Copies of this chain bind each other. A is one copy, B any other.
Amino acid sequence: MEWEALARELSQTTETKIVLLVIDGVGGLPVDGKTELETARKPNLDDLAKRGVCGVSDPVMMGITPGSGPAHLALFGYDPLRHQLGRGILEALGSGVEVGRNDLVARGNFATVRGGLVVDRRAGRIPTEENVRICGYLNTHLPRHDGVEVRVFPGKEHRFVTRFTSEGLADALSDADPQKEGALPVPTAPLVPEAAKASAVVNRFLDDVAAVLAGEAKANAALLRGFSKFPSIPTMQELFKVRPAAIANYPMYKGLAKILGMEVMDVGSETTDLFDALEKNWAGYDFFYIHYKKTDSAGEDGKFAAKIAAIEVLDPFIPRLLALKPDVLVVTSDHSTPALLKGHSWHPNPFVLVSPTAGTDDVAAFTERACAKGILGRFRSISAMPLMLAHALKLKKYGA
């Protein structure tokens, strides 16, 4: 029996509440001997380490650098090697695009093509308002084809989501993106015979876009990546019998939460908005996922000081979590994003769990090296959910 089957069998609904705060990419690497977490002043996070039990978690397995999709899936108790989610569906759902069973979605960039070559994959990062105008124009001026409905939805700057609606569209398609500049545009190609229709529909769309936008100075072509259909994955309600709420303000995380059946809260972009939303919705749910993005963004940009600042901005909000008296509070990350590496990494995440059923260990700081000495040891992130459910007394005994 696997964990998912076990979870279905053992999980039970209780009044207890779990809070999972994901400080995206918080784990790092030393610069001048200390990591971002070791440098930041964060008395409240350190206090959690003293109150609870600590460990470090590998998102997928030792040495594997995950994208945000698999890293979050693991934290939510889903095997990231079994369930794979396309970037397109995450972006689409996260942008509030409705996706149905006959829909095929993809992430898009507006790009600049000149002399037959892609000279700018981001169309000079056109302003978002320009993007909105162009998408509106496309939605009214793209030629119509029988049996296929197409819509584009503007995102930030040059990004958009496109949705094709038709019977029989498969998502086994290669990206329509040369991935570098100075190269020829690349059409999509079917990866399995069943995707031939989808491939033809997508390539006709790319031609249509180029024709309709021929007069644009910058955004005169589209690149598409991450073709995907709505994934079939059991919800958290089905597996764990929880009523989950997601408190996040980036589309990708909201999308993922929606796929897993979480109720996605509308929150603003300030740090306080996350905690306001938590307090406001406290009565209605028993599992709260809070996503804090600023640490990851700073890490991705290679900004060591900015990542420290992002940790220090979050730290004073921790007492607001404790004031709600959750039965289980976990603070960790989906993956590490060392500023030194300017990107996601394979390093395990510091992990702290505070609960009346957990006791304490000797760890006194919420850092990579301190947590590695904690009583929880080193484990895969997929164990985080059984651990949280157990401490919330939401798992019955296995076997007699």
Size of the A side of the interface (Cβ < 8 Å), in residues, is: 61
* Bound: A10/B399 CA distance, A: 30
Closest chain B CB from A366 CB (angstroms): 15
Give per-residue flags for A364-399: 1 if the beta carbon is below 8 A from chain B beta carbons, else 0.
Answer: 000011001101111100010111111000011111
Closest chain B CB from A2 CB (angstroms): 7
The reply to whether A400 and B65 form a contact with Cβ atoms under 8 Å apart is: no
Query: What copy number does this chain have within its complex?
Result: 2
What would 11 more interface pairs be, CB under 8 Å, given A29-B359, A64-B386, A85-B399?
A62-B386, A63-B386, A64-B398, A67-B397, A69-B400, A70-B398, A70-B399, A80-B399, A85-B400, A343-B397, A373-B373
A361 within 8 Å of B (CB atoms): yes
The reply to whether B379 and A372 form a contact with Cβ atoms under 8 Å apart is: no
The reply to whether B30 and A359 form a contact with Cβ atoms under 8 Å apart is: yes
A35 within 8 Å of B (CB atoms): yes
Smallest Cβ-Cβ distance to A28: which chain B residue: B359
A217 within 8 Å of B (CB atoms): no
With A62-B386, A397-B344 known as contacts, the answer to whether A361 contacts B369 (CB < 8 A) is yes
* Bound: A343/B35 CA distance, A: 41
Q: Contact residues of A with B, CB < 8 Å?
A: 1-3, 6, 10, 29-30, 35, 56, 60-70, 80-82, 84-85, 87, 90-91, 340-341, 343-346, 357, 359-362, 368-369, 372-373, 375-379, 383, 385-390, 395-400
Closest chain B CB from A153 CB (angstroms): 17
* Bound: A35/B375 CA distance, A: 14
Residues on the B chain within 8 Å of A81, using CB: 1-2, 6
* Bound: A379/B359 CA distance, A: 20
Smallest Cβ-Cβ distance to A86: which chain B residue: B400
* Bound: A323/B360 CA distance, A: 36
The reply to whether A67 and B30 form a contact with Cβ atoms under 8 Å apart is: no
Residues on the B chain within 8 Å of A372, using CB: 361, 375, 377
Residues on the B chain within 8 Å of A398, using CB: 60, 64-67, 70, 80
The reply to whether B390 and A67 form a contact with Cβ atoms under 8 Å apart is: no
Q: Which one of B6, B87, B346, B387 contacts A400 once the chains associate, using CB atoms below 8 Å?
A: B87
The reply to whether A383 and B6 form a contact with Cβ atoms under 8 Å apart is: no
Closest chain B CB from A315 CB (angstroms): 23
* Bound: A386/B61 CA distance, A: 9
* Bound: A359/B390 CA distance, A: 34
Residues on the B chain within 8 Å of A369, using CB: 361-362, 375
With A64-B6, A369-B375, A378-B379 known as contacts, the answer to whether A395 contacts B346 (CB < 8 A) is yes
